[in-house]
Amino acid sequence: MSRHLADLLAMRGPIKRIAVVGMGYVGIPSAVLFADSLSYDFVWGIQRESPTGSMKIAMLNRGELPLRGKEPDLADLLKKVVDAGKFRCTSDYSKVEECDATTIAIQTPFKSSEALIPDFSSLEDGIRNVGRYITEGMLVVLESTITPGTTVGIARELLEEESNLTAGEDFALAHAPERVMAGRLIRNIREHDRIIGGIDEESTVRATEMYIPVLTKGHLIPMTATAAEVTKGAENAFRDLQIAAINELALYCEAMGVNVYDVRKGIASLKEEGVTRAILWPGAGVGGHCLTKDTYHLERGARLLGGTIDYPLGKESLYVLARHINDFMPQHMLYLTTEALVRIGKTMQGSRIALLGWAYIADSDDARNPPSFLYYTLAQQGGATVKVHDPFVTTYPDVDIHQNLDSVLRDADVIALFTAHSLYRDLDAPYVKALSNAIHPVIVDGRNLIDPGEFIKRGFIYKGIGRGDVNNHPIVD
Ligand code: SAJ
């Protein structure tokens, strides 16, 4: 406990002005909720100048939301706080100097996940720029998902180097990982419990004070900064693990001639006080910007902070294995496609494939790390022609994405269902058959969207992930 820091915080008094660095999916709702709180007088949104950044600054200062997708309450709240003069956006980091606290929400991708080589350059630039303007008695909070050890390590070092101040003595430093999901940004910040990890007790307390006014149902869960970093990485690694567990089971069920969804229903039925299986859903793969990278943040932290870990001792960890199982699923979709084509004397070479679904998640336009990309690439390498449909995603680098479903289904030998868009649940077997113009079109269901019987009885060759009960069905002429 630092008396000096405690005195500095007491002299500064309650937090009244906040700077939020990084105007993205995390920073914008965070800044708007702080600005909307009667506890705070003003919030600066800080965004670096760049082709997209400058456009964001101008839009935000007009009270316009630069995020895609539906975000309940966010647009209204943004307009309200801009009109009230409680929020403005700028690229000028010096505004940090007039604030009592600064949060940093800048993305933290990996250059190479497997090699655990991060690309933290943007985050480190942001931290350096904040460090140039922090003053005594200020609070700095990292909200980005970061490798365990970052807050007490490189972040602390950069802030101290730039400010000539000492963290934990002259300013408070904490990690409060974001837990927001597209489509629920405002609700998640208000209602999710908030993990708060200070580098010391004083910093934890100061950070909890800052978040209390924006929480409605959410509770504060204090811990150390490193424990907070581990919590964030692990909560997503665990979800990825749960998905890998049901994906592996789906492969087993295919091999054993069993319907994985019957098995899942049976397993999920075992629940009573303290007993649960939390079984998730098998599918064509795991995409997005969270689960595909957060395991590797956890792995990197364990490697950097730990000595020798008894297990895996050089072998693949359980969590990385889970990543590999989930990343294998698009290849399994290709295997199912090839197996189906063989049944009608065809191969990938020269086949026309309708790939339905590019977004990584149902009924969304978010196409970050789409599982379908691997299938698309491998199918083309195998000599197939692939046409992609998605009702929400309109563009993707070097991939033509069509919004007219009929045009993609027309003359298709194969229909591969990758994303659980509601639209695809209504695929009409006779209509699809007529459009495909094939005697035995192949349909591969990666998300359990269609009724196999409706398609098999009309001559389709059906394959479904986990559908060992029907994957070798008799061919109906
Ligand atoms: N997926 C499956 N089977 C499942 C669930 C998901 O194959 O049972 C696939 C999805 O198709 C998608 C990928 O996994 O491709 C990720 O889906 P997701 O539902 O986990 O969505 P994300 O990636 O946006 O995860 C976020 C995370 N939130 C944060 O990091 C703040 C995660 O912690 C949440 O649990 C998750 O949202 C959620 O529950 O919506």
Average pLDDT over residues 428-443: 96
Residue 66 C-alpha to ligand 1 middle, in angstroms? 23
Q: At 1, is the pLDDT very low, low, confident or very high (cuts 50, 70, 90)?
A: low
Q: Are residues 268 and 298 in the same domain?
A: yes
Q: Are residues 255 and 204 in the same domain?
A: no
Mutate to test the pocket of ligand 1, among 361, 363, 424 (most ligand atoms within 8 A of CB): 361
Is 95 domain-assigned? yes
Helical H runs in 310-365?
A: 318-343
Euclidean distance between CA atoms 83 and 106, whole angstroms: 26
Whether 114 shows a pLDDT value over 90: the answer reads no
Is 180 domain-assigned? yes
Position 196 scores a pLDDT of: 98
Average pLDDT over residues 192-217: 97
Is 230 domain-assigned? no
Residue 279 C-alpha to ligand 1 middle, in angstroms? 13
Residue 244 C-alpha to ligand 1 middle, in angstroms? 12
Q: Are residues 184 and 255 in the same domain?
A: no
Is 52 domain-assigned? yes
Question: Which atom of ligand 1 is nearest to 289's Cα?
Answer: 23
Residue 262 structural domain:
235-477
Burial of 371 (0-12, 13-18, 19+ CB in 10 A): buried
Whether 473 shows a pLDDT value over 80: the answer reads yes
Residue 456 C-alpha to ligand 1 middle, in angstroms? 31
Strand partners, 141: 103, 174
Q: Which of 218, 244, 259 is the last residue of a domain?
A: 218
Mutate to test the pocket of ligand 1, among 145, 291, 449 (most ligand atoms within 8 A of CB): 291
Look up 457 and say whether it is catalytic.
no
**Beta carbons of 143 and 104 less than 8 angstroms apart:** yes
Q: Are residues 155 and 299 in the same domain?
A: no
Instruction: Indicate the pairing of strand 110-112 with strand 117-118.
Output: antiparallel
Residue 242 C-alpha to ligand 1 middle, in angstroms? 11
Among candidates 228, 249, 244, which has minimal Cα distance to 320? 244
pTM: 0.93
Query: Catalytic pick from 232, 346, 387, 463?
Result: 232
Average pLDDT over residues 149-176: 98
Residue 439 token pair: 């005697």
Is 225 domain-assigned? no
Identity at 349, one-letter amino acid code = Q
Please count the structural domains in the chain.
Answer: 2
CATH of the domain at 329: 3.40.50.720
Mutate to test the pocket of ligand 1, among 241, 251, 267, 286 (most ligand atoms within 8 A of CB): 286
Ligand 1 contacts CB of residue 280 (under 6 A): yes
Strand runs labelled E in 376-466: 385-389, 401-402, 414-417, 442-445, 461-464
Burial of 10 (0-12, 13-18, 19+ CB in 10 A): exposed
Ligand 1 contacts CB of residue 281 (under 6 A): yes
Average pLDDT over residues 268-278: 87
Ligand 1 contacts CB of residue 181 (under 6 A): yes
Ligand 1 contacts CB of residue 236 (under 6 A): yes
Q: Are residues 257 and 148 in the same domain?
A: no
Q: Are residues 194 and 329 in the same domain?
A: no
Q: Which of 168, 188, 218 is the last residue of a domain?
A: 218
Q: Sign of torsion, CA 263 266 267 268?
A: positive
DSSP secondary-structure letter at 146? -
Residue 119 token pair: 């690309």
Is 228 domain-assigned? no
Identity at 120, one-letter amino acid code = F
Average pLDDT over residues 12-41: 97
Whether 69 shows a pLDDT value over 80: the answer reads no
Ligand 1 contacts CB of residue 290 (under 6 A): yes
Q: Are residues 211 and 246 in the same domain?
A: no
Q: Are residues 129 and 270 in the same domain?
A: no
Q: Are residues 29 and 164 in the same domain?
A: yes
Is 227 domain-assigned? no
Residue 372 C-alpha to ligand 1 middle, in angstroms? 16
Look up 232 and say whether it is catalytic.
yes
Q: Are residues 239 and 178 in the same domain?
A: no
Is 50 domain-assigned? yes
Q: Are residues 247 and 196 in the same domain?
A: no
Average pLDDT over residues 295-301: 94
DSSP secondary structure of 164-221: S--BTTTBEEEE------TT-HHHHHHHS-EEEEESSHHHHHHHHHHHGGG-SS--EE
Instruction: Look at 31-45, 55-69, 148-162 and tell me which has the smallest mean pLDDT.
Output: 55-69
**Beta carbons of 419 and 356 less than 8 angstroms apart:** yes
Q: Which of 191, 218, 245 is the last residue of a domain?
A: 218
Q: Are residues 78 and 204 in the same domain?
A: yes
Ligand 1 contacts CB of residue 360 (under 6 A): yes
Task: Give pLDDT tens digits for 221-263.
Answer: 999 999 999 999 999 999 999 999 999 999 999 999 999 999 9
